Amino acid sequence: MGRPNFKDFKKKALEDTEVKSEYDALAPLFDIKKQLINARLNNGFTQDDIAQKIGTSKSTISRLESFNNTFMPNIGTLIKYAEALGLRLSVKLG
C-alpha cells in the first residue's frame, strides 16, 4: 500500500484526542493566516509589496503567513497589513 494522502493522514491524526485538542487550539491562528494570504493574492500583492508598504522585511511577512510556525501577529501588525491592501481589519467573537 502506498503513502496515505494528506486528507487520510489528517483524519487518522485527528482521531487522537491530544492531537485534536492542539489542532483545535491553533485553528483561529491558521484561519487568520489563510485570510491574510487570500486577501494579499486577491489584491495582486506580493509579500515584498506588503513588507514595503508597512515598513518591514519580506521574511517577516513570510513568517506571519507561514503555517509552519505559530507566530502570533499583534493587532497593530494586522491593522497595517489590512491597510496596505486598502482593507480594514475586522475582529469578531463567536
Does some domain include residue 28?
yes
Does some domain include residue 53?
yes
Does some domain include residue 65?
yes
Does some domain include residue 62?
yes
Does some domain include residue 90?
no
Does some domain include residue 92?
no
Report phi then psi at 46, rounded to 5: -95, 170
Give the domain CATH number at 70: 1.10.260.40
Query: What residues contact residue 44 under an 8 Å CB cut-off, 6+ apart?
Result: none
Count of domains forming the chain: 1
pTM above 0.85, yes or no: no
> Domain span at residue 70?
6-84
Does some domain include residue 42?
yes
Separation between Cα atoms, residue 82 and residue 89, nearest integer Å: 6
- Each residue of 32-89: pLDDT tens digit? 999 999 999 999 999 999 999 999 999 999 999 998 887 788 899 999 999 999 999 9
